Amino acid sequence: MILMNDFTAEPHELQEAMLTAVRRVLESGRYILGDEVLAFERHWASACGVRYGIGVGSGTDAIEISLRALEIGPGDEVVTSAMTAFATVLGIVRAGATPVLADIDPATALLSRASVERCLSSSTKAVLLVHLYGQMRTMDAWLALCKSHRVLLVEDCAQAHLSAWRGKGAGSFGAAGAYSFYPTKNLGAAGDAGMVVTDDKVLAQHAIRLRDYGQRVRFHHDEPGLNSRLDELHAAMLGERMKWLPQFTARRRQIAEAYRSGIRNTLVQLLEPPEESAAHVYHLFVITSPKRDALQTHLEKQGVLTLVHYPLPIHHQKPCRDLARDPQGLSCSERHASRCLSLPCHPQMSDNDVNKVIEAINGFR
Ligand SMILES: *Cc1c(COP(=O)(O)O)cnc(C)c1O
């Protein structure tokens, strides 16, 4: 079987380095907010091209904390995509703000600027831009849109580790960027973890308080924050995994190139290729097909496991049915949800695996 992820197949050297890191933390006797977290925060912020990284408990928390640190909350609207992980919207709701759903551009499944403009109101405080599947596009246009409407740009970078647009990293464009290190992300922990990245010192200091019960000085609490701290154990392991990320990302791009040139089937469409190679880290390689469910069954019979990201657009999720949205509707998100399919695209795949996936797709009738 070709799997969507296979951590057991990772290089022995990496597994050994993670075990050494775990031992180092256990022997240090320091488990919360110590040197490992500080070091990983520094390394990851620098990889993103910003000054501050604040390690938190998850990507969802990173979104909530980013918004709260920007003083966005009750009564404020945040515009985001109807085609994203539920966690994107959950982070907005947890911050006390009101999500407003915009539609996607069908060629990329990324947020549509025209739709976002229809969603803006006098209560809009931010656009939460999701770098879906690992793609970054037209960041200059997003910055211009947010500037002209006087709203903040916040980036959901949960799928965009090391993605960059014209040499600038994901999370360095907006007021803040929210990363997840959920195990299956391109940089994943052995559990839950996340980070807020920003260049803004005041925002960073606020996020540092929010993740730690809202305390400024120990036992002196300014506001009801969260308990959402990145653990020393995860930080130490993430530091080791981060060393492998450039080569793992290069392998994802190779696999994507092979798919792009090898897949030939009139029942299958590819998303638009990135403008430059650094602008896509292929967290997911997504195709669309009018016969998606039959294709998924066919691939499984051929030994290829796939997933659907995501089978429901956000406004079809039970708690989101009444959310405000683009007055022209969200038909592109609905259509994408019914057609999209994510192919295996992880760094441990062999060339043989990749060819097997291509042949299985091309053999679908
Ligand atoms: C995974 C993901 C999140 C949430 O991250 P968690 O660490 O699971 O809380 C948020 N947004 C997107 C786009 C994601 O893919």
CA of 194 to the centre of ligand 1 (A): 9
Task: Return the pLDDT at 116.
Answer: 98
Whole-number Å distance, alpha carbon 60 to ligand 1 midpoint, is: 6
**Cα(217) to centroid(ligand 1), Å:** 30
Distance 81 CA to ligand 1 centre (A): 13
Helix (H, G, I), strand (E, B) or coil at 44: helix
> Residue 324: its pLDDT value, please?
98
Mean predicted confidence (pLDDT) in 300-317: 98
CA distance 161 to 249: 9
Q: Is 58 in the pocket of ligand 1 (CB under 6 A)?
A: yes
Q: 182 C-alpha to center of ligand 1: Å?
A: 7
Q: Is 16 exposed, middle or buried (0-12, 13-18, 19+ CB in 10 A)?
A: exposed
Average pLDDT for 257-273: 98
CA 66 to ligand 1 center in whole angstroms: 14
Q: How many CB atoms lie within 10 A of CB 288?
A: 18
Across the range 189-217, mean pLDDT stands at: 97
For a ligand 1 pocket test, name from 156, 185, 281 the mutation site with the most ligand atoms within 8 angstroms of its C-beta: 156
Predicted pLDDT of residue 62:
99
CA of 87 to the centre of ligand 1 (A): 5
Instruction: Give the position, in ligand 1's atom list, of the atom nearest the Cα of 60.
Output: 9
Q: How far is the CA of 185 from the centre of ligand 1 (A)?
A: 9
Confidence of residue 111 (pLDDT cuts 50, 70, 90): very high
How much is the average pLDDT of 303-313?
98
Ligand 1 mutation target, pool 88, 229, 238, 281, most atoms within 8 A of CB: 88
User: Parallel, antiparallel, or unpaired: how do β-strands 269-270 and 98-102 relate?
Assistant: unpaired
- SS3 call for 52: strand
- Per-residue confidence at 167, pLDDT binned at 50, 70, 90? very high
Ligand 1 atom at minimal distance to the Cα of residue 182? 7
Report whether residue 88 contacts ligand 1, using a CB cutoff of 6 Å: yes
- Whole-number mean pLDDT of the chain? 98
Q: Which numbered atom of ligand 1 lies nearest the CA of 185? A: 1
User: Cβ–Cβ contacts within 10 Å for residue 279, how many?
Assistant: 21
Pick the atom of ligand 1 nearest to 181's CA: 7
Per-residue pLDDT at 278: 95
Ligand 1 atom with least separation from CA of 283: 15
Looking at residue 4, its pLDDT comes to 98
Please give the structure tokens belonging to residue 322: 């009444």
Quick check: CB of 194 below 6 Å from ligand 1? yes
- Cβ(81) to ligand 1 under 6 A? no
pLDDT at 360: 98
Distance 186 CA to ligand 1 centre (A): 12
d(CA 309, ligand 1 centre) in Å = 12
Determine if the pTM surpasses 0.95. yes
Instruction: Determine the distance separating the centroid of ligand 1 and the alpha carbon of 85, expressed in angstroms.
Output: 6
Rounded average pLDDT over 190-198: 98
Q: How confident is the model at residue 189 (pLDDT cuts 50, 70, 90)?
A: very high
Average pLDDT over residues 115-134: 98
* Residue 228 to residue 212: CA distance in whole angstroms: 7
Residue whose tokens read 């995860």: 234
- In the prediction, which pLDDT does 151 show? 98
The residue nearest atom 14 of ligand 1, judged by CA position, is: 158
**Ligand 1 atom nearest to 84, measured from its CA:** 13
Over the stretch 74-98, which tens digit does the pLDDT of each residue have? 999 999 999 999 999 999 999 999 9
Report residue 349's pLDDT band, with 50, 70 and 90 as the boundaries. very high
Task: Report the distance separating Cα 145 and Cα 127, nearest Å.
Answer: 10
SS3 274: coil
Give me the percent of the chain exceeding a pLDDT of 90: 99
pLDDT above 70 coverage of the chain, percent: 100
Q: Give yes or no for a contact between 52 and 202, defined as CB atoms under 8 angstroms apart.
A: no
Residue having the nearest C-alpha atom to atom 11 of ligand 1: 88
pLDDT of residue 40: 99
Tell whether omega for the bond before 133 is within 30 degrees of 0, i.e. cis: no
Contacts of 68 (CB under 8 A, 6+ apart): 95, 96, 206, 210
